[in-house]
Amino acid sequence: MLISRWTNSCWTPPLGAAPALHRATEVVRTNPHPTGKLSQPTWVLDYNFSAGERLRLHSPAMPWQERPARVAHLYPPGLVYWEAPGAGGTPFISHCAYLLFSDAGMLGLERLLVTRLRYARFVDDTGIVGDLLSRLATIGADGQADSYWLALADFYRLIALLHHAEHLGHETYRILPLAGAPPHSALVEAVRAYIHEHLATPITLAEIAEHLGISESALSHRYRAEAGETPLMTLKRERISLVKVLLTKGYPLQAIAEQVGFYDAFHLSKAFKQVEGMSPRALLKSLAHYRQDE
């Protein structure tokens, strides 16, 4: 079975807005096919969470280059490029994200395109760019009316990170933390810390709110405005991430359910399918199938 999961935020920017956001997408899929020739009328910030893919710029005569994990690629409008799986042919699960946005020169991104290739890549050792792109893909996925304005806050932080990056030479930069700008507020950090401490225990929104000393409605509103999702959505994602690790290590579903805060294996499987689009057993079957075909 192929794995394919897409999360999309699509916006219609206000008339005359510049810069303007158009689309943010996060994709998890098995063995992506070559894309063919790509070129966008907008800027593209493209990101790989996983390794195993390649990139070619400008012409079919140009050599392929590897796309390592945690590296962002910035393409200006009109740049031609191709993407493809790695040359080895080994089955793998691709995890990537991208953002499409337009600009009228206000962002100053042209100055980062310092080589004749006219593109830039950013090594994201801490994963902060990937985290922001993932949040952007989620913010507008449910059609929330004010998602565009919430997304702009993360977008401008992304632009600040690109400009603040250390130039390593040629087209390559390294993302550095922004001084005086923590990635999340004290509230978001407190919620995530509580969640991490209680992954193995069934917890409710009321319990999180009581721990923080605020109402449930205030917690939900403030957390979603900053994190782009509810506290319980974060809790579910964190638990499912841990489930996938334990599955690949061979733990049975009931044992995993007990360790990760689900009532039983049925409850775990239902939550897993909601997040991943398939059951835990289907994921394991898919991975085993591709190992056999290797």
- pLDDT at residue 144 in the model: 61
Q: Is residue 99 within 8 Å of residue 24, measured between CB atoms? A: yes
Separation between Cα atoms, residue 249 and residue 120, nearest integer Å: 38
Residues of the chain where predicted confidence (pLDDT) is lower than 70 = 1-5, 31-32, 87-92, 141-145, 179-184, 286-294
Q: 0.85 exceeded by the pTM? A: no
Separation between Cα atoms, residue 130 and residue 172, nearest integer Å: 17
Domains and CATH numbers, the chain: 4-174 (2.60.120.280), 186-293 (1.10.10.60)
- pLDDT at residue 38 in the model: 87
Angle, helix 186-197 to helix 205-212, in steps of 10 degrees: 120
Separation between Cα atoms, residue 292 and residue 265, nearest integer Å: 27
Separation between Cα atoms, residue 105 and residue 82, nearest integer Å: 26
- pLDDT at residue 174 in the model: 92
- pLDDT at residue 75 in the model: 95
pLDDT for 268-278, tens place per residue?
888 888 777 77
